[in-house]
Structure 1
Amino acid sequence: MNRANHLASRSPLHDFLAPRSVAVVGASQDPTKRGYKAMVGLVKQGFRGAIYPINPKAEQVMGAKAYASLGELPGPADLALICTPATTVPGLIRECGAAGVKGAVILASGFGETGEAGAALEAELLAVAREAGVRLIGPNTSGVFNLHHNLNLLALDNVKPGGVGIVSQSGNMLLSLALEAQHNGRVGFSTYVGPGNQTDIGFADYLRYLGEDAHTQVATLYVEGFQDGRHFLEVAREVTAAKPVVVYKSGATEAGQRSASSHTGALAGSYAMTVDLLRQAGVSVVQYSDEILPVAEGLELLQKARGKRVAVLADGGGQATIAADRLAEAGLTLATLAETTRARLAEILFPQASLANPVDVAGSSDADPLVLARCMEILAEDAGVDSVFLVGMFGGYSIRFADSLLGDEMRGAESMIELARRVDKPLVVYSLYAPIKPPALRRLHEAGLPVYYSIEHAVRALAALGERGAYLAADHARPEALARLPDPEAAFARARAEGRDLLEPEAKALLAEHGIRVPEERLVRDAAELAEVAAHFGTRSLAMKVVSKDILHKSDAGGVRLDLVGEAALVEAHDAILASCRAYAPEAEIEGVLVTPMAAKGVEVIIGVSRDPIFGPVLMFGLGGIFVEILEDVAFRAIPLSRHDARSMVAQIKAKKLFEGVRGGAAIDQAALVELLLRISQLVEAYPEIQELDLNPVIAYASGYAVVDARVIVARDGADASTDSTTRTEENLA
């Protein structure tokens, strides 16, 4: 089945994540057993469907008739919870298939996570499940709940239905989020799944389900590792177009960290790469675990901002400054207030108030908290403001100053609620009184305005809202595919037949054939050709490099000479390069030397591609030359790229001020770099034979660029990317 059709069809997970009947295999009366806790969760939560305890030694469990086996059930169960040891599970899955069970939650550990024997048992389990037609959650999972269907197989207390769906590889992280939500008082959950070993169902499948689930307003994932990251990105693009997705990725992707022969390969597989690719798909990535719920709440309630321009309203200068600092660090900007806005503020604030952004009311609200609501309205009506951030002690004026101010604070809260209904802009509140939940803040929270306990959490939510708004407003259309051409096809065929990578002249010819500008150069196979080459280039300063399939790092082998002028200099450099390279690698096959004019000075960047085992082909862009592995100031995007992707890569570089010209230097041609990034993306799509590609350095100029060095590493037969890194999920859903 075509993958596009997968994404368009309804997820089969609805059949058992919103079940009408549940069988608990291993149901127990013993409070220490998971089979007991699952029954408690179903009964206590008031599950409305049929509950079938499976226990051959009991007539009933918690008032429900017990059955000796799945085969004795009066009807098929949509979902089975298996609470028995690992060795019993394959046989039980066969029974599930025979009994018409659609999905099974497997709690037991003792599978692939334990070693070779466990991996063999897990492989057997998957084979049995496929034959039986039963989908697997886990094994080694913490469980499942669907609170809108009163399904709580974790027997987790004090969780209420709501709009936050969770998939977490850590059961303790779920518990942490549940306790935090209980303290928050407003946040509720829709579905939770612990994916466990992802033997059958993976993150992409769960995300697709949450994307389709009407009760889920924001999907939230705690991820330790993806198994099919490329498929996850495809699903994420579809889901984020409709609803927010929040991901906390713990650590680096170990499966993607591998030695490679190129700069790009060495830098790929990192945590930074994973974050870039998730954000490319519209995912809101949080850096710290305590940001997960605050960001999810903000996105659930407010969905998006139109841009990243924030107006800060404060009743104290210190917190206004802190807010401004955090906003800048998060990539947001302080909105420039219109003169009419400043004039309107001046009419209601004390003369000493600061009317610039941040707006500091300077005591104007001490005796009249309603002033803050009026200021919020004025700021929200400014066309140059995308979000309004109230910072300070709103909600605590009656505590700090006088009980008589409580009425004004409540009226102020109602005014803010009405404003939020009228304007299409996020209104976010941080109050130092939030921990004690005074009446005005409780009213805001009840009405759906997020109230935060820390400036940092509020800013992270504002950043996520701004990023989502920018993502939704961007054009994500991708350029048309490039056609394969005969000469490059022949070059790849020769390289594969000879068990080598493309030689530098072949790599540059590939680029030139597809409209990428490369410098003029001559391949010299014999010293006798140097006189003609010298005459051709005249007095231009030249570079000479060895060409050999066996010498990848030319400089290390002494295979590069620069600033050569005239025939004598070329001859001397030629002899020195050959002598040095033969000493470095005596068995190396040397094709000759490449002679090309020295590139003019400019800004050195790197463009590279690596085929990540988890995410497939990934393009990297950053500062080039010797700095690429020292500074690692790079950006990653999954191929294929849209024009928005290419532009955002250039904008992401921390040292991008170099691109804008420093100390009187001219700004570089960023538009040309964007076109180059797009063309490389198209090239890699057209030629799956490209395993890795390095253009390092590319020298960017005020007009155009120069590709100084090009390396293309060829995938060996059967190892190219004409197929995805893993197709297990697609096969399972077919």
Structure 2
Amino acid sequence: MTTMANATQSSPLHGFLAPNSIAIVGASADPTKRGYKAMVGLIKDGYAGTIYPINPKVDRVLGVKAYRSLADIPGTADLALICTPAASVPGLLVECGKKGVKGAVVLASGFRETGRPDGIKLEQEMLAAAHQSGVRVIGPNTSGMFNLHKKVNLLALNNVKAGDIGLISQSGNMLLALVLEAERNGHVGFSTYAGPGNQADIGFNDYLRYLGEDPHTRVATLYVEGFRDGRRFLDAAREITALKPVVVYKSGSTEAGQRAASSHTGALAGSYAMTVDVLRQVGVSVVQHSDEILPVAEGLGLLQKARGKRVAVVADGGGQATIASDRLAEAGLELAELSETTRRRLGEILFPQASLVNPVDVAGSSDANPALLADCLEIVAADDDVDSIFLVGMFGGYYTRFAEDLLGGEMRGAEAMIELARRSDKPLIVYSLYAPVNPPALRRLHEAGLPVYSSIEHAVRVLAALGERGIYLAACTGQKAVPTVVPERAAQLVFADAQAAGRDLFEYEAKNLLRTHGVAVPEELLAGSAEDLASIAARFGDQPLAMKVVSKDILHKSDAGGVKLNVRGEAGMRVAFDEIMAASRAYDSQAVIKGVLLTPMARKGVEVIIGVIRDPIFGPVLMFGLGGIFVEILEDVAFRAIPLSPHDASSMLEQIKSRKILAGVRGEAAVDKAALVDLLLKVSSLVEAYPELIELDLNPVIARPDGYAVVDARIIVSRKPLAAKEACR
């Protein structure tokens, strides 16, 4: 079992998410009030700590001595649950501070999430009071929290089981949905839950560090509408995923969903595709359907990881074997190629009509002996080319379907599967069409910690998460750090000049910066006037050239008629120069034109794009995909947060759907992927070295079998020097 039970608990949240004393501010005997429900939850579940109901109008609440105010309680409380209206919160937090309360749960809404100036102002006042008083705040606008191992049930939820799934959810309804699903499952339980609400003080990164250190939590599970500080979350996730799985469902995958998230929590939803990529970059298991959250959390919590994505399927029906194969392929998993030895051993125990290739279809061999399925699993588990095992079919229901006396065989098969799982490092996942009725053999598997699913799709998603996690952990082991780039003084002066002039880098300045740091950029020369063309012609000779206008006022050069291609010789250069200047002045008569840039035409290859933005949530993020017009049409791109590791860079090339083009199609040679990986790493390091660079666009980059060439480069410059905090975001 992977936990941090022996780790140092550095998170300050332990002091109040596992409280020994709780003050209920607004405690009530009215069953419709949250102050009543919280009291009921604590009393009913047998909370062993001290409860301080705060209500100035009564002497006792549900039999517990009440106090007029926080100032009147003896000693202190680790946690305060504030059930009163929003306007009362700042003053109450000051009272909490005076009594030494470590944390407060603020249920009230009416703060920043409203979007109104008075709500924003009230949240600022609340946060100032909390900071002044040394009180950490969960919320506001939160559904609350529970810690089931501590018997702290402030939501008064019924039939919720203590377990090892830690849960942080910005939606109270999503929490309820997962609790009800766990109740139906019967085998899944929770450790700690918190609703971050507006994240005014405590953010997802803080909660994640707590769950990472919590010995009762084996897998951290988060429902996220928006991050407040994505960069800090990535830093926390990188540390925690090395120790235990982290599952995230990020809502807001559509424009409508993003609007809903913003109005609900007041948080920026950000780009969904980018968010998914940068979360996976740090080892987070991202699920894209809400009904996958609990199955994946359960599977990762129990099984942790697989070595890779090669799956052996053993099935007792051809139809479901085919469905499983389809879903595995769609999830990016592979059907393992079974060795000759494995196929021979399977053939020795199965009927002649059985299929011995993957997926293995036992074809009725197990109808009279369901324990035979366990023998098949044992055989495929011994195959070195298998990373995980998937049993598909009706196991658990043989005694119902065929004969009652088969129950003993199913129970023996279950025990054999449990023993196999105990000995093997290859996870075993079971899909059974009888899972909804939970027959004895499946109950036994569950009790022993083997997950059983009633959906092939859910089982496959768990297999994918196990494989992705195993590959991520292996890639992180022993990976060399990318050397830090030292900024060039001359380049810093170019940035300073651009900032002073309120412009971005000219194309030739951008390319010079790239060239200075080892990026392959074709030679180019600037013609400030027609008089410069003679010397340029002497330099380039008769080879075909590209000519482009250079002006801070003309961003879309082609639209302005400021680009000429395949220009040859001095005479052709002069004609093209005059046409470019005339067209550019006609396009914008006020444009300041610095000249025309001339460079040899790039050789044929695959056009790719490399871009960088400084995202307000996740900081600098790099994008890679097919270049030219394809990036806008196909939207087939990959994102990674900067800085990149070598694994990050290489995985970007493998992620895009059009990766086969990079490998060579229809007789074309494969591009030099190693050179592209090197380019991505150089760009990542360059962005770190120059915080003034806020956006970069290399489009196209021509990728070839013998390297690459950056054909066009654009660098957007910050309009003012960045403060230290902004520079690192």
**Which residue number corresponds to residue 436 of structure 1?**
437
Q: Which residue of 2 aligns with 1:272?
A: 273
Aligned equivalent of 2:588: 585
- Given that 1:688 and 1:720 are in contact with CA atoms closer than 8 Å, whether structure 2 keeps it comes out as no
Q: Within 1, Cα distance between the matches of 2:170 and 2:586? A: 53
Answering whether residue 56 of structure 2 is matched by residue 47 of structure 1, we say no
- Distance in 2 of aligned mates of 1:63 and 1:588: 80
CA distance in 2, matches of 1:60, 1:256: 45
AA aligned to 2:711 is V
Unaligned regions of 5+ residues in structure 2, if any?
1-6, 260-268
Deviation at 1:531, TM superposition (A): 2.2
Aligned partner (choices 680, 685, 688) of residue 685 of structure 1: 688
Q: In structure 2, which of residues 539, 543, 549 is the aligned counterpart of residue 540 of structure 1?
A: 543
Corresponding residue for residue 309 of structure 1: 310
Cα distance in 2 between the residues matched to 1:74 and 1:253: 51
Question: What does the per-residue CA deviation read over 1:386-408, in whole Å, with 9 as the maximum and x for residues that have no partner?
Answer: 10000000000011111110110
Give structure 1 stretches of 5+ with no counterpart: 1-6, 259-267, 727-734
CA change 1:273–1:575 in 2 (3 A) is same
- Give the equivalent residue in structure 2 for 1:730: none
Structure 2 CA distance for aligned equivalents of residues 478 and 154 of structure 1: 46
Q: Deviations over 1:206-246 (max 9, x none)?
A: 00100010000000000000010010000000000000000
Residue 478 of structure 1: CA displacement?
Answer: 2.7
Q: Name the CA shift for 1:368/1:257 in 2 (closer, same or farther; >3 Å).
A: closer
The aligned residue for residue 57 of structure 1 is 57
Q: Which residue of 1 aligns with 2:655?
A: 652
Tell me, what secondary structure is at the counterpart of 2:149? helix
Give the letter aligned to residue 551 of structure 1. I
Residue 586 (structure 1) shift: 1.2
Secondary structure, in 3 states, of the residue corresponding to 2:543? coil
Structure 2 counterparts to residues 303-382 of structure 1, below 5 A: 303-382=304-383
Deviations 1:153-189 (A, max 9, x none): 0000111110000000000000000000011111000
TM-score by length of 2: 0.96
SS in 2 for 1:651: helix
Q: Counterpart in 1 of 2:128?
A: 127
Aligned match of 1:383:
384
**Runs of 4 or more consecutive aligned structure 1 residues displaced over 2 Å after TM superposition:** 252-258, 475-478, 718-726
Contact residue 355 and residue 362 of structure 2 kept, 8 A: yes
The alpha carbon displacement at 1:723 in A equals 3.0
- 1:720, distance to aligned residue in structure 2 (A): 6.6
Structure 1 residues 8 and 443: alpha-carbon distance in aligned structure 2, compared to 1, 3 A threshold = closer
CA contact (8 A) 1:225 1:253 kept: no
1:263 is matched with which residue? none
Asked if 2 retains the 8 angstrom alpha-carbon contact of 1:525 and 1:593, the reply is yes
Matches within 5 A, 1:479-558: 479-558=482-561
Q: Distance in 2 between matches of 1:275 and 1:82?
A: 35
**Aligned residue for 2:87?**
87
Partner of 2:471: 470
Q: 1:615 — aligned with what?
A: 618
**1:312-341 Cα shifts (integer Å, max 9, x gaps):** 000011111111111111111111111110
Structure 1: which amino acid aligns with 2:57?
Answer: K
C-alpha distance in structure 2 between counterparts of 1:71 and 1:421, whole Å: 55
CA contact (8 A) 2:611 2:696 kept: yes
Alignment-derived partner of residue 208 in structure 1: 209
- CA shift for structure 1 position 60: 0.9
Give 1:269 deviation, angstroms: 4.4
Structure 1 range deviating more: 526-535 or 71-80? 526-535
Assess, with a 3 A threshold, how the Cα gap between structure 1 residues 367 and 35 changes in structure 2: closer, same or farther.
Answer: same
Equivalent pair of 1:613/1:725 in contact (CA under 8 Å): no
Alpha carbons 1:255, 1:269 under 8 Å: kept:
no
In 1, distance between residues paired with 2:22 and 2:255? 37
Aligned residue type for 1:548: S
Q: Which has the higher contact order (CA 8 A, sep 6+)?
A: 1
| Partner residue, 2:74 | 74
Tell whether the 8 Å contact from 2:251 to 2:258 is kept in structure 1 after alignment: no
Counterpart residue identity of residue 226, structure 1 = F
Residue 617 of structure 2 corresponds to residue 626 of structure 1: no
Assess if the C-alpha contact under 8 Å between 2:691 and 2:727 holds in 1.
Answer: no
Distance change (3 Å), C-alpha of 1:611 and 1:8: farther
Residue 535 of structure 1, CA deviation: 2.5
Question: Are the aligned partners of 1:256 and 1:270 in contact in 2 as well (CA < 8 Å)?
Answer: no
- The residue aligned with 1:193 is 194
User: 1:729 maps to which residue?
Assistant: none
- Whether contact under 8 Å (1:610, 1:692) holds in the other structure is yes
Root mean square deviation of aligned Cα: 1.6
Task: Identify the residue that residue 264 of structure 1 maps to in structure 2.
Answer: none
1:33-61 Cα offsets, whole Å, 9 max, x none, are 10000000000111110001001111111
User: Which sits farther off after the overlay, 711-720 or 654-663?
Assistant: 711-720
Matched, 1:165 2:166: yes
Q: Which shows bigger deviation, 526-535 or 675-684?
A: 526-535
Structure-1 separation of matches of 2:663 and 2:258: 33
Tell me, in whole angstroms, the C-alpha distance in 2 between the residues paired with 1:539 and 1:153.
Answer: 80
8 Å CA contact 1:253–1:274 kept in 2: the answer is no
Q: Structure 1 residues 8-17 or 306-315, which shifts more?
A: 8-17
Quote how far apart the aligned CAs of 1:477 are: 4.0
1:530 CA displacement:
1.4
The structural deviation recorded for 1:718 is: 3.8
Say if 1:691 and 1:720, in contact at 8 Å, map to a contact too.
no
Q: 1:704 aligns with which of 673, 686, 707?
A: 707
